[in-house]
Amino acid sequence: MTETARGTSHRYGTRPTMKDVAARAGVGLKTVSRVVNGEPGVTPDTERRVQEAITALGFRRNDSARVLRKGRTASIGLVLEDLADPFYGPLSRAVEEVARSHGALLINGSSAEDPAREQELVLALCARRVDGLVVIPAGDDHRYLAPEIAAGVATVFVDRPAGRIDADVVLSDNFGGAQAAVAHLIAHGHRRIGFIGDQPRIHTAKERLRGYRTAMADAGLPVADSWVSLGPTAPDRVRAAATAMLAAPEPVTALFSGNNRVTVTAVRVLRDHPRPVALVGFDDFELADLVHPAITVVAQDSAHLGRTAAGLLFRRLDGIDDPPQRLELPTRLIPRGSGEIGPPEG
Amino acid sequence: MTETARGTSHRYGTRPTMKDVAARAGVGLKTVSRVVNGEPGVTPDTERRVQEAITALGFRRNDSARVLRKGRTASIGLVLEDLADPFYGPLSRAVEEVARSHGALLINGSSAEDPAREQELVLALCARRVDGLVVIPAGDDHRYLAPEIAAGVATVFVDRPAGRIDADVVLSDNFGGAQAAVAHLIAHGHRRIGFIGDQPRIHTAKERLRGYRTAMADAGLPVADSWVSLGPTAPDRVRAAATAMLAAPEPVTALFSGNNRVTVTAVRVLRDHPRPVALVGFDDFELADLVHPAITVVAQDSAHLGRTAAGLLFRRLDGIDDPPQRLELPTRLIPRGSGEIGPPEG
């Protein structure tokens, strides 16, 4: 068995055990356990023999075993929507930095915007005994998490709230940001403004739509059904929606795009469009200032979202037992050119 | 104890156990174990009682325990350099998709380009009994991994090779891509071409520098020391390097930027520069075609890198025991405008 453990074939379950270390060092199992866990009561000479056996065998203390004994692993899980969406990069990095400052490992995974996959991933992380979770939820029913939270897994939601359970959440001011974006377009003379957003079941998409409608209503402007398109952010869908709004008998003169995935496709559609059309995008993104015209955006601070959520999580892990909190971070309108284009009429 | 487990305070180590389930269901521990692990020998009525107890207590089978028994967990780890670098987004997502198609969970973490942190993270993942690892190494000595690999943790390196151990690796053709980029600038009339790259200890930075030097030598062109700058990709460092090359008595007329982090800063510097300067960047990136002028790049297929590495990993996990492989994927020069600007002299 020990020989197999040192072999090179890729097989499961052939790792050297404490027993192997004890046999090689010629000591008892309890002595190996003391050395491995840094407990007192071992002579320097014995400790050296055990360490040599550990090195020779490639033995590594199994954190899973410690977890089972102590009920604690220094790790937190982060479930996000898409590893490739640049919005989540700074958020993930911020969570990781906070985790690291607390000596914890960050474990990431993505739901691909699928509620079943979110649940599978969350429960898999819980089964691996993460201390806590930061979740960007895909689903809107998180009752499946209630037993985990009750059992001590601190959980903070970020970007979107939990559904049907009471839990900490850190959000951006999606409503206010969207309202400001659309009010900005209205202030530049637009009356027919299109909104292309994410899937309507997603909290942020709903809130941004509400901000759009409120800004239009506040200005006394009607909203035609054909000016609102919600759905997946896949380029084909966004392109079709934008093209339809621009080709209508009374075309929109401005677009408000509901997130960075929508914006990058909208920019491509508008580049090929014969008339200038104003654009404000929700979410800032790298190079938004270098595109021509530079893109006016409503910026969220995704690193700040991540830092705040992780900070709240570690407060919970420190035993702070306040009622669940709902924090909302401000957004910021950054005028850069695309949102200051007026309508063709003047 | 059971009451505590159902409480709401955030405390560790208070989860319901199989013993709690057995007590509540009025059955033996072995029966609970059979139900939890889907083994035969339990009557439907007993199974129902056990399931009810599981639900009532919020008991969840602990994968860590199964791992210890079976030596196997369906999970693989991915260690990358920076969660916020867009190069890694499609790579991570591709690895995750392959993992998922094999029923495995992907666990991510980042080294922040720090060899000590890479090692800490890799060993933490090994201690959590991942079946395999995909590693974008920060360090250049991976002997610390040899006992893990020998003990059965399949490991595939991607983007950069392992140091001082023999392991599977999937790379881009960094040398060939860089050579093609610089030859392209030379073909457009440039003689004084600057190279701004990543830190020289990083494999990809070294290979791209070698490609740059080879293309210059092949064209019979000298390389002044001041035309080469390697270092961190932080915007300030890149900005200073580019500015110095452009302000010299005989300024460079073209820049080759060594990765997407360098390119985005170079684009900003060139935007503010009075004369047009040609630019080719290593790595494609979103919106590179929408900046003015559009950015000519040497594109790597980072999703392909991830897919290939993950595919190789699961071959290893399936027991394929060939000698370690080194795969090199081609790059592609995409002319878009910035790389086709000629030098001021003609």
* Chain B residues 54-83 with CB within 8 Å of chain A: 57-58, 60-65, 67-68, 70-73, 75, 82-83
Region for residue B177 given its phi and psi (left: phi exceeds 0; alpha: psi -120 to 50; beta: otherwise): alpha
Q: How many contacts does A have with B, using Cβ atoms within 8 A?
A: 211
pLDDT of chain A along its 346 residues, tens only?
A: 333 333 333 233 356 778 888 999 999 988 887 777 666 788 888 888 888 887 777 776 554 444 433 444 578 999 998 878 889 989 999 999 998 888 888 888 888 888 988 998 898 888 777 889 999 999 999 999 988 888 888 999 999 999 999 999 999 999 999 999 999 999 999 999 999 999 999 999 999 999 999 999 999 999 999 999 999 999 999 999 999 999 999 999 999 999 999 999 999 999 999 999 999 999 999 899 999 899 999 999 999 999 999 999 999 988 888 899 999 999 999 999 999 999 996 4
CB atoms within 10 A of CB A141: 13
Helix axes B63-70, A115-127, angle to 10 degrees: 60
Label the pairing between strands B168-172 and B154-158. parallel
For residue B312, give both structure tokens: 């190789």
pLDDT (tens digit per residue) in B190-236: 999 999 999 999 999 999 999 999 999 999 999 999 999 999 999 99
Which residues in chain A touch residue B281, judged by CB atoms under 8 angstroms apart? Answer: none
Tell the residue number behind the tokens 């392109």, with chain if given.
Answer: A239
**Strand ranges (E), chain B:** 75-80, 105-110, 132-135, 154-158, 168-172, 193-197, 228-230, 254-257, 278-282, 296-299, 326-329, 332-334
Chain A nearest C-alpha distance from B130 (Å): 10
**pLDDT on residue A21:** 87
Contact B285, A86 (CB under 8 A): no
Q: Determine the residue among A18, A52, A57, A64 to mutate to test chain B binding: the one whose Cβ has the most chain B Cβ atoms within 10 Å.
A: A64
Average pLDDT for B120-126: 85
| CA–CA dist B292, B271 (Å, integer) | 9
CA distances from B188 to A95, B181, B253, B343 (A): 46, 11, 11, 8
**Joined tokens for residue B303:** 């999703």
Confidence of residue B328 (pLDDT cuts 50, 70, 90): very high
Domains defined for chain B, CATH in brackets: 18-61 (1.10.260.40), 69-172+302-330 (3.40.50.2300), 174-300 (3.40.50.2300)
Q: What is the mean pLDDT of residues B278-306?
A: 95
pLDDT (tens digit per residue) in B156-203: 999 999 999 999 999 999 999 999 999 999 999 999 999 999 999 999
- Residue A174 CA to residue A72 CA, distance in Å, equals 36
Best CA proximity match to A313, nearest among A155, A152, A94: A155
Contacts 24+ apart (CB under 8 A), A19-27: A20/A57, A20/A59, A21/A50, A21/A53, A21/A54, A21/A57, A21/A59, A22/A53, A24/A53, A24/A56, A24/A57, A25/A49, A25/A50, A25/A52, A25/A53
- Of all residues in chain B, the one with the smallest CA distance to A152 is B10
SS3 B254: strand
Could you say which residues from 237 to 296 on chain A have a Cβ atom under 8 Å away from some Cβ of chain B?
264, 267-268, 271, 285-287, 290-292
| Percentage of the residues of chain B whose pLDDT score is greater than 90 | 62
Dist. CA B256–CA B216, nearest whole Å: 12
Nearest to residue B79, comparing CAs of B46, B111, B102, B37? Answer: B111
**pLDDT of B280:** 98
Instruction: Give dist(CA B24, CA A103) in Å, integer.
Output: 37
Q: Can you tell me the ipTM of this complex?
A: 0.76
- β pairing state of B228-230 and B193-197: parallel
Residue reference for tokens 């003609």: B346
Give the relative orientation of helices A302-317 and A88-101 as an angle to the nearest 10 degrees. Answer: 30
Contacts of B151 in chain A (CB under 8 A): 5-6, 14-16, 58, 60
Question: What pLDDT is recorded for position B135?
Answer: 97
Encoded amino acid at B75, one letter: S
Q: What is the pLDDT at residue B60?
A: 62
Mean pLDDT in residue range B247-264:
96
Q: Cis peptide before A323, with omega less than 30 degrees from 0?
A: no
**Nearest residue to B139 via CA among B92, B199, B93, B78:** B199
Single pTM value for the model: 0.79
